[in-house]
Each structure stands twice: as C-alpha cells, then as structure tokens.
C-alpha cells in the first residue's frame, strides 16, 4: 500500500491546542473564559467599544455624513454662512442621533441576551467534587455534566463526550439551533485503545481520569474535529478524537438521552458556534452603487455651481468698486471669490440630500417586513414563511438576469419513494414517474402504470413487483424467498440494512404501542432503510460495535443477526460514497459500499467471469433506464477482505483518523487504499417528485426575460428528463450536448462549433430557443482557474444565445465557479437558489442568494440573503416584491434628488439677482426642516395600488405569458434597464425637471 498518500499536510496557521485535564488554575489563564459577547458597544467611556465613539466612527464611514460635517463646521465660522450657523448641524445631529438610538437599542437587547446566557448554571467537577457554577466560569479542561432538566439540556461549551446514560455510551443530540437540521444525530463516548493500562472514565470517580488533549486550534468547521487524547507515553495510550465524539455549543440533548458528561475543549468565543457568528460578506446592490456614483456626480456639479457663483462674486466685487454706496473699496475681488467658495458650498450643501440614506433604510426595512408577512409565500406544510435575512438587497431582486438552481430539494421535493432496484442482471420494480411520463409524451410513446389497481402503497415505499413481495393491507408474503436468486436478493437487502448511519428511536403510536422510527442524515438513506423493512430485512438498532437487523423467514419467525462493525467511512461530496467494514454472522470480513455509479464503476475489479462482465454491462444499461425516468440511483458493491489485508490497512486508517491537520484528506486517501477491486452487487432507484408549480414558475420566469440554469450532480439522462419535466427544455428547443468522454483537447473546438451553430440558428430564426447540456468533467476546462481564457469567452458567448443551461455531474465547488464565471464574465446580476450544504458556495458567490428551508437542513437558508419554503415562491419574490422594491427605492432616490435639486437650483438662479452675495432666498429654519418634512410625507404616503402585472393573475398557471407580454412596459423586464434607474425616470425625469422648474420658481 502507498503510505505516501497519508503524508502530513499543512497545519493550520495557529499552533495546535494542548492542555491538561483538571488543571483549572493553568487553563483559566491560558485560554479565554466561557462568557460570550454578541454586543458591539460598551457603556464604559474609556473603552474602545464605547457606544458613542464607536457608533460615530461607523456612521462617518458614509461619505455623505463626512460631507455634511465639513459643511456644518464651515457654517460655524463667523461671516461665512448665509443660512445661519445651525441649519446643517441640527439636521445632521438629528440623523446621527436617530441612527445612534436605533443601534444602541438593538445592542442593549444583545447585552440582555448575553447576560441571560452567561448566568445559567451547570454542574462541574472541580476540586474533587461536583459543584454548580455559572456558564461564564467554565474553563478548558473542566468536566461538565449536562442534564435534560438543567438549561434545557444545552451544551455550555464544545465538549468531548466521555459518559452517557444511554447504553454503550451513545448520545442523541439536536442541532437545529446550530445548523438548522431537525433530525437527531448520534454521538458516541470517546473510546480508548483496549491495550491502554489507564483506567477509563468513571462518573463516580472522575479524578482517576487524567491525561492531555492535543487538538487543532479553534476554527469554525462544524463538521470536522481533529485531536488526540494522550494518557501516557506508550502508543497504546493515545486515542483519536473525531467529530463523532464532540458535543458542540448550540446543540442540546435529544431523544432518550437524559444526562451526559463531557470534557471542555473550546470555550466562549473559541467555540465553533461563536466562530461562525462572524459577519458574512457584505453585498451591496447595484442600485446602491449607482446611487453612490450619482452622489459623486452631484458633488462635482455642486463644486461647479459654487465655483461659478464665486467667480460671479469676484466680478461683482470688482464692479461694485465703482459704486461708493456699496462700500466695496477695501475688498479684494480675488480673495472675496476664494472665501466665497465656502459660502456657496454652505448655501448649496443640500444638493446632496442629507436624509437620503435614512430614507432608503426605512423603506427597505418596511419592504423586508412585507416580504416576511406575505401569506402568498407561506408554506403551510412545513410552517415556513418567507424570511428576508437582509434588507439591503431588496431592489436587487428586481434586477436579476441569471438564476442558478440546484435540483434535489429545490426543484424536487426531496421526499424519497423507494421504487425500483436491480440485483445481478435482474431488474425489479414497476410503475412510472412524473418525469418518465413527460419523457414518453415528448417522444410520442404510451406509458402506463403497470402496477395492479388497488395496490396499497406505503409512505416512502412505492415499490411493487409480484416476484419480490405482495403488499395488501396488513398481510405480507415475501415472494423473493422463492426466487432462484434468493441468496443474491437476501444479501443485497442485508447490505442496504447494514451499510448506513441511520439512528433508531422508539416512539408510541396513537394506540400506545411502541413504534421504531428512523432518523437519518439524508432522506435517501432513510428511504432505503425503510424500504428494506417493507421487504423483510428490518434494521432494529446499533451500538458502538454492532449493527442489528431482523431477517424475515419463510416460517414467519424472523431471526436477529448482529453484524460486527469495525469502521464507518462516511459519505462526503468529494467521495460520493460511504463504506463500512463489517463481519457478518458467518465470520466473513467485508467492505460494503454504496455510492454514485461513476465512483463505484471506477473501482470495480476486472471481471473474473463472463457472467460478471455481463452483469456490469447490463447494470450500466439499467442505470441509464432508471436515469431516463428521473430516478436517483446508487450502486451497491462489496469486497471480501483477507484478514491480513485489513490488519495491514487498519494502522494506516487509524493514523489518518488521529492526525491533526488535513485529517479529512488523509482519511479519504486511506479509504482509497481499501475501496478497490469491488464486486458489483446491485443498484437502487428512488423517485424524488417535482415540487408543485415548478414548471409554471420556470415558464413565467423565462417569459419575463430571465435565464435559468440548473446545476446538479445527477447523470446527464436524469438531468435532461427533469429539464423537460419542469419546462426548462421543450421539444422545439435546439439542445447542444457535450460528450463527457470527449478528449480534453477537443473541448475548445466543440465550444466554438456549438457557438457558431447557435449563431446560425438564431440568424435563421430569431425566435428559436437554444439550450446547452454540459458535464462537470467538461466544465473543468471552462470554469477552473487553469482553463484557457478562449474557452471561457466562447462558452459565455454560446450561453448568451441560450434560454436554458443544464450542468450535470458538477461538484459544489464547480457550482460556485459557474456562478463566478457568469457574474464576472457577463457583468449581469445573478441569483443562486438551493437547499443543502453543498449549495452554500454558489449561494454566497451570487449577487443574491436564496435558501430553501428543506429536508437537507437549514445550512443554505442560513447562508442565504432570503429564505423561502418552495421554489415556486421565487416567482412572487422576484416579479412582485423584487419589482416593487426596485421601483419604489428608485423613486425614493429620484424624489430625494429631485426635491433638493429643485430647491437649491432656485437659490442658484437667485444669486444672479442678488449680485452673488450668497444671500439665501429661504428662511433658515425652513431650510433645516425641509428634508425632514418632505421625506416624512413621502414615507407616510406610499402608493398602495397594485401594478397591472399583479392585477392580471400573472402568477397563475397558463396566464404568465399573456400578462408579461401584454404589459411588457410595466412588467419585470430585465432587458430594458439602462444606467438611469429607468423604471421611475418616465415619471420624474430628475435630469431636466428640477432645472427647468427651479428657474420658474424664482420670485
């Protein structure tokens, strides 16, 4: 075996953490305390966080506030201000004070929450006794006892699990407050090597548990932990610590676990929860950027006006020397003109509206509340309302040009139904899918559901095949037991019932009878394990060393089998598979694995017989057929290990799991050494139905001028059929498909060929729709940093002609690369929408990120700017709220500019009547209250009438095209946006109206 694969990687920049257990005096000095602080300000005047200084520092990061501070300072100089000394500083102070009060009030509530959390009590072992201490007084190295009846079972710090009331030291936890996932997760007490001579942890005498912890420095990775527990000098006294033994702050006890004891590893601001509390990357809308540019332009215009008037003052002073009654003999015209610049800057200071930012913020906050309270975007099935996690991008929703969507859980329900499977060359299962019916209709074939009428289907189990089982009411007949390949079928079912990370929990039904329920990290695993239960192989539980299953027998008396569990190599998005090393009841040592067909087929052994070669070939055809029906497929494989082979590999894997620094890469490398020479056993096919309203939503979005891209990890056939089923593709569309098996050197030529074909097609028929289907392997030469620039440019030119693009077999990193390519290459406003942790990268990369609160957890929703319950709500979010926000914020900006330009250009014209003396036309207090009064009137009298596109039921299926086309000038039209906020220009025309109107308002 190649041990170089496990070579040490680079460690984190911060050195690893080392500390001794029970050494409270040393640890409390070496590490931060356990108090948390989410507040920004302090009430202590000499603190750098003092509320007044820090808030003012933040507010003067806005250029407009700095500008008005300079003007207010000039006004205080005697003899310069024609409008009084306080007409600017009072409104500025009011704006600063209101913002200060808002920020301090929000921070005061944070202080209250922090004090409440830090003052909770917990049972800690210190000075050889258990005692109650405050959360804030916990230190690294303490032993902490967490109980369900104290602090709701929440963990006060990041803990290493040492003891639990559950059998075998297992612990069920809820992490919904940490990562949003509602399913229970299983943690196991830290286990040491059997060869160690040191006593294990004892709840009755914790003082005997001594040692040192060596672990990675604090970081914000919630799904990884690398460390070692060192009890002595011998290698046998060192044991690895992984994330499966870590209880993170923010999680709490769940299930039947009543009490646990844990060792504190990270405290306070070093806990992974607090490390993840950092502010996300700031996203500024293009409208806000445009407003800043307009402010700079108006400032330049202001300087031009001031210079013109100052020059006029110099000329007037020179002329006035000839008139003795003006007493101008002692004045220097040049110096008078220079000092006049300051006077006119004060006179025209409010050409830039002092209340603009406040007005915009107030409008956006109300808009965010409207989004959250819109019942049309409330998903009752999951009790999920729309959630605007930021208000700064509301108007950006009305300018989206490109939408990048995940498939599973975003376009589909992520509710899995076990439908079909194959073992050897035999395929089992009947019935049709929504996507399969759409594909058959497109090809003109008749497709019928061949399941018998009246068949009762269980939730999550839509499988029927009379060769396997007959399910009617409560009676079950396991017909697979009478098939010639019974042994193959039973072994396949057992693999699926054993190879997983599902957790069992016993509940009671309505009649009070105990019911065994399953909790899984993904709906796929839950579906497969439930499916095996309906087929006679029931998973009944697991402990630290065994997985127990109940196997149905022909005599009706099931038997219980225990499979010895040695290693679990978990699934991740890079490996695309999960494996276990186990020993069956017959004593045979197996590596069992299930995963994507691409990774499994790459690791299959060379066929040892014609029968095995035929099985591999037929199974690939079966997978293509399943994929054509839009089914989610997995391959199941195994390899029987030699004892010596496992004995040689196990130390390498142990070293990888105990490493500190790049542990996951080393574990993956170790897994590669054993996950080879696999024998294909069978496949599974699960249906994931489309969400309600997805085809109509995509049709309406495309009709409104938006480009929709689907980024998925599915096979090409599955992705294409889903594209047709959700109306992304249609039969009259010309679709260009890249061949993933094509040589890499030919990809650039293929892109150019497709680009020229698309251009010719558009030239012949401008109304023709074009689509592209491309695989992740091909995208490596398009989106990666090392891809040729010509490929990127030609691919973007090709996609500019496309109404739809489907990228299949893509990784999470490639999703972000695709978004970045379009965002930077085309300069268009982008939106990404997804529901899982694998979508977070593309959600944060896009201008606007939308998270769907789905069954894969809340990672995407928490990382997003907006969260919704279903894909179809995206239509209303963009076409209604996005358009309203864009128009309304535009009008607020234009109105703010309009009223101030109108007012102060009148002052400019008046200068020609007063000899450029800087005399104000208005009363000073009228000037001071002008912005406040007029802005308040604007915000208190919004237009309530609905836009024509809404009155037109445009969001109803079938009516979208008519509504959009008939009201193109009013609808969400992404192709008609210039540089001048044109949705409101037609009514306000800020460039011309104020200038003309100001001239007629001079008395």
Helix (H) or strand (E) holding 621: helix 610-628
List, for residues 77-102, the tens digit of each pLDDT value: 776 777 667 777 887 888 788 878 87
State yes or no: pLDDT of 155 exceeds 90.
yes
Active-site residue flag, 739: no
Which listed residue (406, 688, 835, 865) is catalytic? Answer: 406
- Cα–Cα distance, 117 to 276 (Å, whole number): 18
> Alpha carbon of 419 to those of 440, 461, 520, 621, 838: distances in Å?
18, 7, 19, 17, 26
d(CA 962, CA 324): 76
Percent of the chain with pLDDT over 70: 83
- Residue 133: beta bridge partners? 122
Phi first, then psi, for residue 552 (nearest 5°) are -65, 150
CA 629 to chain CA centroid, nearest Å: 29
Whether 537 and 493 have beta carbons less than 8 Å apart is answered as yes
CA gap 192, 238 in Å, rounded: 8
> d(Cα 430, Cα 230) in Å, to the nearest integer?
56
Q: Are 449 and 639 in contact (CB under 8 A)?
A: no
> What phi and psi values does residue 774 have, to the nearest 5 degrees?
-140, 150
What's residue 932's pLDDT?
Answer: 64
pLDDT tier for residue 601 given thresholds of 50, 70 and 90: very high
pLDDT of residue 619 exceeding 50, the answer is: yes
CB 889 within 8 A of CB 357: no
pLDDT score of 983 more than 60: no
Overall average pLDDT of the 820-843 stretch: 87
| Contact by Cβ (8 Å): 939, 962 | no
Most confident of 599-608, 659-668, 741-750: 599-608
pLDDT tens string 134-147: 999 999 999 999 99
Angle formed by the axes of helices 486-498 and 523-534, nearest 10°: 140
Confidence of residue 855 (pLDDT cuts 50, 70, 90): low
For residue 997, the model assigns a pLDDT of: 56
State mean pLDDT over 762-791.
87
Q: How far apart are alpha carbons 301 and 280 in whole angstroms?
A: 36
Determine the Cα–Cα distance for residues 421 and 429; give it in Å rounded to an integer: 7
d(CA 442, CA 962): 24
pLDDT of residue 320: 66
Q: What mean pLDDT is predicted for residues 376-387?
A: 87
Distance between CA atoms of residues 244 and 242, nearest Å: 5
Average pLDDT, stretch 469-493?
77
- pLDDT above 90 coverage of the chain, percent: 24
- When mean pLDDT is compared over 419-428, 551-560, 840-849, the highest value belongs to 419-428
Task: Look at strands 246-247 and 212-215 and give their pairing.
Answer: unpaired
pLDDT reading at 29 higher than 50 = yes
User: Using CA of residue 219, residue 224, residue 229, residue 234, what is the dihedral sign?
Assistant: negative
Q: How confident is the model at residue 188 (pLDDT cuts 50, 70, 90)?
A: confident
The highest-confidence range among 452-456, 716-720, 721-725, 848-852, by mean pLDDT, is 848-852
Contact 158, 263 (CB under 8 A): no
Q: Say if residues 420 and 403 touch (Cβ distance below 8 Å).
A: no
Task: Check pLDDT > 50 for residue 963.
Answer: no
Higher pLDDT, 781 or 957: 781
Please check whether residue 930 is in contact with residue 921, taking contact to mean a CB–CB distance below 8 angstroms.
no
User: Could you tell me whether strands 426-428 and 866-868 are parallel, antiparallel, or unpaired per DSSP bridges?
Assistant: unpaired
Q: What is the mean pLDDT of the chain?
A: 80
Burial of 439 (C-beta count, 10 Å sphere; 0-12/13-18/19+): buried
State how far the Cα of 244 lies from the Cα of 57, in Å rounded to an integer.
44
pLDDT for the residue 448 = 66
The residue with tokens 């025309």 is 989
């Amino acid at each position: 075996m190649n041990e170089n694969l496990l070579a040490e990687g680079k460690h984190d920049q911060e050195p690893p953490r080392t500390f001794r257990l029970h050494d409270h005096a040393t640890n409390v000095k070496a590490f931060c305390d356990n108090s948390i602080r989410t507040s920004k300000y302090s009430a202590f005047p000499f603190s750098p966080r003092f509320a007044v200084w820090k808030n003012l520092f933040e507010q003067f990061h806005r250029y407009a506030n700095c500008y008005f501070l300079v003007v207010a300072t000039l006004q205080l100089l005697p003899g310069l201000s024609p409008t009084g000394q306080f007409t600017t500083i009072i409104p500025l102070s009011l704006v600063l004070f209101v913002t200060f009060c808002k920020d301090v009030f929000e921070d005061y509530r944070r202080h209250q929450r922090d004090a409440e959390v830090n003052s909770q009590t917990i049972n800690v072992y210190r000075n050889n006794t258990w005692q109650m201490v405050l959360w804030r007084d916990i230190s690294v190295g303490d032993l902490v006892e967490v109980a369900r009846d104290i602090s709701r079972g929440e963990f006060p710090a990041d803990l290493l699990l040492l003891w639990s009331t559950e059998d075998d030291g297992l612990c069920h936890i809820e992490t919904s407050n940490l990562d949003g996932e509602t399913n229970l997760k299983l943690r196991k007490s830290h286990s040491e090597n059997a060869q160690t001579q040191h006593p294990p942890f004892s709840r009755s005498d914790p003082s005997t548990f001594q040692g040192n912890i060596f672990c990675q420095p604090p970081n914000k990775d919630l799904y990884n932990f690398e460390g070692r527990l060192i009890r002595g000098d011998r290698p046998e006294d060192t044991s690895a610590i992984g994330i499966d033994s870590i209880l993170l702050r923010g999680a709490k006890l769940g299930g039947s676990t009543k009490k646990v004891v844990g060792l504190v590893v990270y405290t306070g601001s070093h806990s992974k929860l607090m490390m993840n509390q950092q502010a996300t990357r700031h996203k500024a809308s293009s409208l806000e950027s445009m407003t800043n540019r307009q402010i700079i332009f108006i400032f330049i215009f202001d300087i031009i006006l001031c210079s013109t008037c100052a020059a006029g003052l110099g000329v007037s002073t020179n002329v006035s020397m000839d008139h003795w009654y003006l007493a101008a003999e002692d004045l220097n015209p040049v110096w008078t003109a220079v000092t006049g610049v300051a006077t006119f800057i004060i006179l025209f200071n409010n050409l830039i509206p002092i209340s603009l930012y406040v007005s915009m913020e107030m409008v956006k906050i109300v808009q965010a509340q409207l989004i959250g309270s819109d019942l049309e975007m409330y998903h009752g099935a999951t009790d999920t309302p729309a959630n605007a996690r930021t208000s700064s991008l509301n108007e950006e929703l009305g300018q989206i040009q490109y939408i990048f969507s995940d498939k599973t859980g975003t376009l589909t329900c992520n509710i899995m139904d076990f439908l079909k499977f194959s073992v050897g060359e035999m395929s089992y299962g009947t019935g049709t899918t929504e996507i399969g019916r759409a594909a058959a209709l497109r090809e003109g074939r008749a497709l019928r559901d061949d399941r018998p009428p009246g068949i009762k289907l269980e939730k999550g189990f839509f499988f029927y095949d009379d060769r396997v089982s007959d399910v009617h009411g409560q009676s079950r007949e396991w017909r697979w037991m009478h098939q010639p390949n019974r042994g193959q079928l039973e072994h396949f079912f057992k693999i699926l019932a054993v190879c997983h990370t599902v957790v069992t929990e016993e509940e009671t039904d309505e009649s009070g009878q105990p019911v065994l329920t399953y909790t899984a990290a993904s709906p796929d695993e839950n579906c497969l394990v439930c499916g095996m239960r309906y087929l006679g192989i029931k998973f009944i539980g697991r402990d630290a060393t065994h997985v127990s299953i109940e196997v149905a027998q022909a005599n009706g008396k099931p038997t219980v089998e225990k499979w010895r569990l040695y290693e679990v190599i978990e699934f991740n998005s890079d490996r695309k598979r999960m494996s276990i090393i186990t020993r069956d009841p017959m004593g045979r040592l197996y590596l069992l694995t299930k995963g994507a067909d691409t990774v499994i087929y790459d690791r299959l052994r060379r066929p040892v017989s014609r029968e095995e070669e035929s099985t591999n070939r037929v199974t690939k055809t079966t997978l293509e057929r399943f994929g054509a029906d839009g089914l989610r497929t997995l391959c199941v494989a195994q390899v029987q290990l030699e004892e010596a082979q496992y004995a040689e590999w196990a130390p390498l894997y142990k070293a990888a799991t105990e490493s500190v620094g790049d542990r996951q890469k080393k574990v993956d490398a170790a897994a590669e050494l054993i996950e080879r020479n696999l024998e294909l056993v069978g496949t599974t096919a699960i249906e994931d139905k489309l969400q309600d309203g997805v085809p109509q939503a995509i049709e309406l979005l495309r009709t409104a001028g938006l480009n929709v891209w689907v980024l998925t990890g599915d096979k090409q056939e599955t992705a294409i059929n889903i594209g047709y089923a959700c109306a992304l593709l249609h039969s009259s569309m010309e679709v260009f498909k890249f061949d993933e098996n094509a040589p890499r050197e030919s990809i650039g030529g293929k892109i150019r060929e497709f680009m020229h074909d698309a251009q010719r097609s558009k030239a012949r028929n401008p109304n023709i729709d074009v689509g592209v289907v491309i695989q992740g392997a091909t995208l490596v030469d398009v989106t990666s940093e090392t891809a040729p620039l010509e490929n990127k440019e030609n691919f973007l030119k090709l996609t500019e002609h496309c109404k739809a693009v489907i990228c299949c077999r893509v990784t999470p990193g490639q999703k972000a690369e695709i978004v970045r390519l379009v965002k930077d290459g085309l300069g268009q406003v982008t939106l990404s929408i997804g529901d899982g942790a694998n979508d977070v990268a593309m959600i944060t990369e896009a201008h606007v990120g939308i998270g769907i609160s789905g069954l894969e957890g809340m990672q995407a929703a928490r990382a997003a700017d907006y969260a919704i319950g279903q894909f179809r709500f995206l239509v209303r979010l963009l076409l209604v709220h996005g358009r309203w926000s864009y128009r309304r914020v535009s009008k607020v900006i234009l109105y703010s500019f309009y009223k101030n330009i109108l007012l102060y250009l009148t002052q400019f014209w008046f200068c020609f009547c007063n000899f450029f003396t800087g005399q104000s036309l208005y009363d000073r207090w009228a000037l001071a209250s002008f912005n406040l009064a007029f802005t308040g009137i604007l915000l208190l009298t919004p237009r309530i009438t609905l836009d024509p596109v809404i009155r037109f039921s445009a969001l109803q299926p079938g009516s979208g095209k008519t509504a959009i086309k008939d009201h193109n000038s009013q609808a969400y039209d992404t192709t008609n946006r210039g540089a001048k906020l044109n949705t409101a220009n037609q009514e306000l025309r800020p460039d011309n109206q104020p200038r003309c109107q100001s001239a007629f308002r001079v008395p």
